[in-house]
A and B are shown apart, each in its own frame.
Chain A
Amino acid sequence: MSKIFYAKLALTNIKKNGKTYFPYIFAAISTIMMFYVMHFISINDGLNNMSGGDSLKIILYLGNYVIGLFSIIFLFYTNSFLIKRRKNEIGLYNILGMEKRHIAKVMFWETFFIASTSIILGLLSGILISKLMFLVLLKILGFEVPLGFIISKPSITITVILFGLIFILTLLNNLRQIHLSKPVELLKGGQVGEKEPKTKWIMTIIGIVCLSAGYYIALTTESPLTAIYLFFVAVILVIVGTYSLFTAGSIALLKILRKNKKFYYKTNNFINVSGMIYRMKQNAVGLSNICILSTCVLVMLSTTVSLYIGMEDVLRNRYPRDIAVRVDNVSDEMEEKLDNIIIKEAEKHNISIKDIIKYRSIEVTMFQKNNSFSLANRDIGNYSDISLLNIMPLESYNSQENKSINLEDNEVLLYAFRGEIKEDTVNILGNEFKVKEQLKDFNSEGILSAIAAKSYYIVVKDVETIEKLLFNVDIYGEKFENLSYYYAFDVEGEAKDEIALTYSLADKISEASLSGYAEGAEESRESFFALYGGLFFLGLFLGFLFIMATVLIMYYKQVSEGYDDKQRFEIMQKVGLSKEEVKKTIKSQVLMVFFLPLLMAIIHIAFAFKVITKLLAVLNLTNVTLFALCTVGTILVFAVFYGIVYSLTARVYYKLVS
């Protein structure tokens, strides 16, 4: 037999199995395209020139890994669908006299054709679309668009190597499966494992425990700092819970339903429950994959979209005033000097100052236990107990807020930012104060919103109280001598002057060798856009990839089930089930299988909502309404998408069954 024979046979095979192979090739082309685009953008030199470009590059670089890893899993998974479907056909070749090495040759050619087609088409479309995606990214980031069309050789090389390897691995895996099996088994390939699944109680319980633990963590975590690391624990718990509930829990539930004779022996329930037991056995893993993927898509899109939309909010949260200056260890004379410098510099840059906030205070990190604060040890166990105290004299507060409150020696005003004190006293380093009032509202320092720890503003009677309280104490190896000075203001003027002013103020501080900072909203805007816009872009990009994967997995589910169910429904019709009844039961089963993962994903999101808002707060997005709207919006868009895919694949399914 000539070489061409195998190649020809391989081509006919691909064509003949088009219903399953073309979506696979399409998926391969798309993943290759997306990988190329992501890699192309992440190594693009243009990004180096922009402020915040580094963080953007890191984000995009991570995106490369995510897509690469995802491609491996995804292509492997879909390939296993294909080979399972084709075992029958391969068994037939084997029986007709083809040796396994001949089959291997055919499979080699098949993989070769598929791989070369998808790599070539994937790269071509990648190259075409990379420019477009780059423009989209720059648009998102609000940058000017450079002209020119670049083809990146390193990106092409890496893409070819990665996907070449993936295809070789899938080929090896297929060969291994065929090598291990006997012809008779190959012939029956589609039908093996029809035994009734066992109820796995332990796994069900593990699933319930994991899921509830995950939900519990998500619901009870209050501090953003703990939220960061507990979030991942919760995610893992929920993933484990989802998998075990889909695999074991669903079957346990169905079997309980079956035990209930009154419920079970009703026409619809009878067919649905028994059918679902088998369906869940074959599909549980696929369904949990879809569920987890959907959850990822939803979380990713809703958070990145709301961060991007809420960018102005975020900037305002982070920078309550356009420019803020803070200098430590400032004496009275120094305070006056600083005021002059700021006003002079502003004039120099054609900027008028308004809405000034200025106060003197002292900032110290402490360890909080209920209402008492002590100096933090180096080896603190629980990060959520770290608190930032900002202690200021009443005089500063009154002049800042235009009030005339009086305080006794042992009285304080308290403002809690991301923290809570329920008692009406506070204890600072052993000194007990009575909380005269908990302030509802305070012009806090912007930088605090970038710190995940809890912060408290404590207004005491006068500077002497602060001196007594802190100046004689050794605080982390240092002693305070003076209060710090905070000066923040809004500006009127050109953005570029505002940026220049921020820089020159920072220069003045370092020239005078003072410890402190000067920061401005405009100055940071670019890097904020780079970071959040980058996340947004990645979110969209990965969201699209995951949706594609979800769609394809669902399509394969439907097709392979259609083949399996055909026979079952034929028998039922012979025994007396009418065509309409068949249609109805198919519909309810398919609906259940289809929308169960989506429903579960939405439940996950609902439980995760609170902890995600905490995480977003660390990223300075405190607008919960905006996030809620974005979440609902993405869920709706996703559900519509899902519904369209459902109706399309359901049609294929009906065709197969009837």
Chain B
Amino acid sequence: MILEVKNLKKIYTTRFGGNHVQALSDVSFSVEEGEYVAVMGESGSGKTTLLNILASLDKPTSGDVVLEGKSMSSIKEREISKFRRDNLGFVFQDFNLLDTFSLKDNIFLPLVLSGKSYDEMDLRLKPIAKKLGITDILSKYPYEVSGGQKQRAAVARALITNPKLILADEPTGALDSHSSDDLLRLFKEINKEGQTIIMVTHSTKAASHAKRVLFIKDGEVFHQLYKGPMSDEEMYQKISDTLTIIATGGAKNE
């Protein structure tokens, strides 16, 4: 088991203590090494909050996240950036590449922050760039390339640290359908090579590529689906059905 999420609860309080908003009420699940998990849910269901807590960008009100036996709440504030850098890789919806760096330097950024030498960085980059098909555009700047290329560079940035876990937040959200397909295929390949991936998404299509789909509603894990031997298309159908149930039948349960 690589990741264990225990009874996460998150309550946002407005600045002057007036309103309390419960984003997560009680979330527990675990992820095995080499898994590919999609987290689905409507807007406001708490999936972004969950991802932020997994990414150690935010702290839960109660509950804990354990990564490879290490409790995240035990990590000191000073070490949290290093922890994030060494263990987690991020892929964001809006790429989050810096315009002031070339793609290559953007990919190097986390390694430079860890103080790696240029030769080592270069050595690590070569196979990744080749796999992602961005070798030719490495010296370009983010504003000079397409959305799909940007997202591949961002994936390279996430992979280059050899993270234990890749966290993806709506990675296909800003891409056209062709680039989306490319990216999902890429994720599948990476996963096949043993990389654990957790992806938060709206898109049924994106989720249908994952091995397991968690559905979050009103701050709780509402349901989950295992893909097993199903094809992408079958999985797609199953997810749509579940979403329909959550949207209609789910409401009746309350």
Q: A195-B143, A267-B115, A576-B82 are in contact. Are A277 and B109 (CB under 8 A)?
A: no
Expressed in whole angstroms, the Cα–Cα distance for A571 and B157 within the complex equals 13
**How far, in Å, is B160 (CB) from chain A's closest CB?**
11
Which residues in B have their C-beta under 8 angstroms from that of A267? Answer: 112-113, 115
B90 within 8 A of A: yes
* Total A-B residue contacts, Cβ distance less than 8 Å: 68
Q: A572-B109, A575-B90 are in contact. Are A581 and B81 (CB under 8 A)?
A: yes
**How far, in Å, is A165 (CB) from chain B's closest CB?**
40
* Contact, CB under 8 Å: B81 / A578: yes
Expressed in whole angstroms, the Cα–Cα distance for A572 and B112 within the complex equals 12
Name which residue of chain A comes closest to B121, CB basis: A265
Q: A261-B118, A274-B105 are in contact. Are A571 and B98 (CB under 8 A)?
A: yes
Contact with B along A189-207 (1 / 0, CB 8 A): 0000011100000000000
A275 within 8 A of B: yes
Contact with B along A477-504 (1 / 0, CB 8 A): 0000000000000000000000000000
* Contact, CB under 8 Å: B109 / A574: no
Q: A265-B108, A270-B112 are in contact. Are A577 and B100 (CB under 8 A)?
A: no
* Contact, CB under 8 Å: A574 / B82: no
Expressed in whole angstroms, the Cα–Cα distance for A194 and B99 within the complex equals 7
Which residues in B have their C-beta under 8 angstroms from that of A277? Answer: 100
* Contact, CB under 8 Å: B141 / A575: no
Which residues in B have their C-beta under 8 angstroms from that of A45? Answer: none
Which residues in B have their C-beta under 8 angstroms from that of A196? Answer: 100, 141
Expressed in whole angstroms, the Cα–Cα distance for A577 and B81 within the complex equals 6
* Contact, CB under 8 Å: A578 / B80: yes
* Contact, CB under 8 Å: B110 / A576: yes
* Contact, CB under 8 Å: B90 / A266: no
> CB within 8 A of A578: which of B82, B99, B109?
B82
Expressed in whole angstroms, the Cα–Cα distance for A277 and B105 within the complex equals 14
Expressed in whole angstroms, the Cα–Cα distance for A568 and B99 within the complex equals 9
Which residues in B have their C-beta under 8 angstroms from that of A575? Answer: 85, 90, 96, 109-110, 113, 157
Expressed in whole angstroms, the Cα–Cα distance for A574 and B97 within the complex equals 11
Q: Which of A278-328 contact B (CB under 8 A)?
A: 278
Q: A574-B90, A575-B113, A576-B113 are in contact. Are A275 and B78 (CB under 8 A)?
A: no
A16 within 8 A of B: no
Which residues in A have their C-beta under 8 angstroms from that of B113? Answer: 267, 575-577, 581
Which residues in A have their C-beta under 8 angstroms from that of B105? Answer: 270, 274
Expressed in whole angstroms, the Cα–Cα distance for A350 and B110 within the complex equals 90
**How far, in Å, is B173 (CB) from chain A's closest CB?**
16
Expressed in whole angstroms, the Cα–Cα distance for A262 and B113 within the complex equals 14
Which residues in A have their C-beta under 8 angstroms from that of B82? Answer: 576, 578
Name which residue of chain A comes closest to B52, CB basis: A574
Name which residue of chain A comes closest to B83, CB basis: A576
* Contact, CB under 8 Å: B100 / A278: yes
Expressed in whole angstroms, the Cα–Cα distance for A571 and B143 within the complex equals 16
A333 within 8 A of B: no
**How far, in Å, is B220 (CB) from chain A's closest CB?**
27
Which residues in B have their C-beta under 8 angstroms from that of A572? Answer: 98, 109
* Contact, CB under 8 Å: B143 / A574: no
Expressed in whole angstroms, the Cα–Cα distance for A572 and B57 within the complex equals 12
Name which residue of chain A comes closest to B154, CB basis: A575
Expressed in whole angstroms, the Cα–Cα distance for A393 and B118 within the complex equals 82
A580 within 8 A of B: yes
Name which residue of chain B comes closest to A258, CB basis: B105
Which residues in B have their C-beta under 8 angstroms from that of A574? Answer: 55, 57, 90, 92, 96
Expressed in whole angstroms, the Cα–Cα distance for A261 and B97 within the complex equals 21
Which residues in A have their C-beta under 8 angstroms from that of B55? Answer: 574
Which residues in A have their C-beta under 8 angstroms from that of B101? Answer: 274
Q: Which of B189-245 contact A (CB under 8 A)?
A: none
Which residues in B have their C-beta under 8 angstroms from that of A194? Answer: 99, 143
Which residues in B have their C-beta under 8 angstroms from that of A576? Answer: 81-82, 84-85, 110, 113-114
Which residues in B have their C-beta under 8 angstroms from that of A278? Answer: 99-100
Name which residue of chain B comes closest to A568, CB basis: B98
Which residues in B have their C-beta under 8 angstroms from that of A573? Answer: 57, 81
Name which residue of chain B comes closest to A278, CB basis: B100
* Contact, CB under 8 Å: A274 / B100: yes
**How far, in Å, is A198 (CB) from chain B's closest CB?**
13
**How far, in Å, is B57 (CB) from chain A's closest CB?**
7
Expressed in whole angstroms, the Cα–Cα distance for A267 and B141 within the complex equals 20
**How far, in Å, is A311 (CB) from chain B's closest CB?**
54
Name which residue of chain B comes closest to A269, CB basis: B112
* Contact, CB under 8 Å: A262 / B85: no
Contact with B along A551-572 (1 / 0, CB 8 A): 0000000000000000010011
Q: Which of A422-469 contact B (CB under 8 A)?
A: none
Which residues in A have their C-beta under 8 angstroms from that of B121? Answer: 265
Name which residue of chain B comes closest to A569, CB basis: B98
Expressed in whole angstroms, the Cα–Cα distance for A574 and B114 within the complex equals 14
**How far, in Å, is B85 (CB) from chain A's closest CB?**
3
Contact with A along B64-91 (1 / 0, CB 8 A): 0000000000000010111011000010
Q: A194-B99, A277-B100, A568-B98 are in contact. Are A578 and B78 (CB under 8 A)?
A: yes
Contact with A along B95-129 (1 / 0, CB 8 A): 01111110001001110111101100100000000
Which residues in B have their C-beta under 8 angstroms from that of A578? Answer: 78, 80-82
**How far, in Å, is B151 (CB) from chain A's closest CB?**
15
Which residues in A have their C-beta under 8 angstroms from that of B108? Answer: 265, 270
Expressed in whole angstroms, the Cα–Cα distance for A516 and B65 within the complex equals 101
Expressed in whole angstroms, the Cα–Cα distance for A542 and B82 within the complex equals 52
Which residues in A have their C-beta under 8 angstroms from that of B118? Answer: 261-262, 265
Contact with B along A56-67 (1 / 0, CB 8 A): 000000000000
Expressed in whole angstroms, the Cα–Cα distance for A196 and B99 within the complex equals 8
Which residues in A have their C-beta under 8 angstroms from that of B90? Answer: 574-575
Which residues in B have their C-beta under 8 angstroms from that of A568? Answer: 98, 100
**How far, in Å, is B131 (CB) from chain A's closest CB?**
20
Name which residue of chain B comes closest to A576, CB basis: B85
The winner among A278, A568, A575, A580 for most chain B CB atoms within 10 A is A575
Name which residue of chain A comes closest to B95, CB basis: A571
Q: A576-B113, A577-B113 are in contact. Are A571 and B96 (CB under 8 A)?
A: yes
Which residues in A have their C-beta under 8 angstroms from that of B96? Answer: 571, 574-575
Contact with B along A242-271 (1 / 0, CB 8 A): 000000000000000000011001110010
Expressed in whole angstroms, the Cα–Cα distance for A278 and B80 within the complex equals 29
27 contacts between A and B (CB under 8 A): A194-B143, A195-B141, A196-B100, A261-B118, A265-B108, A265-B112, A265-B118, A266-B115, A267-B115, A270-B108, A270-B112, A274-B98, A274-B100, A568-B100, A572-B109, A573-B57, A574-B57, A574-B92, A575-B157, A576-B82, A576-B84, A576-B110, A577-B113, A578-B78, A578-B81, A579-B81, A581-B81
Give me 7 other A-B pairs in contact (C-beta within 8 A), A274-B98, A576-B85, A580-B78 excluded: A196-B100, A265-B117, A266-B115, A270-B109, A571-B98, A573-B57, A575-B85
List 8 A-B pairs, minimum CB-CB distance, nearest first: A576-B85, A578-B81, A571-B96, A274-B100, A265-B118, A270-B112, A261-B118, A194-B99
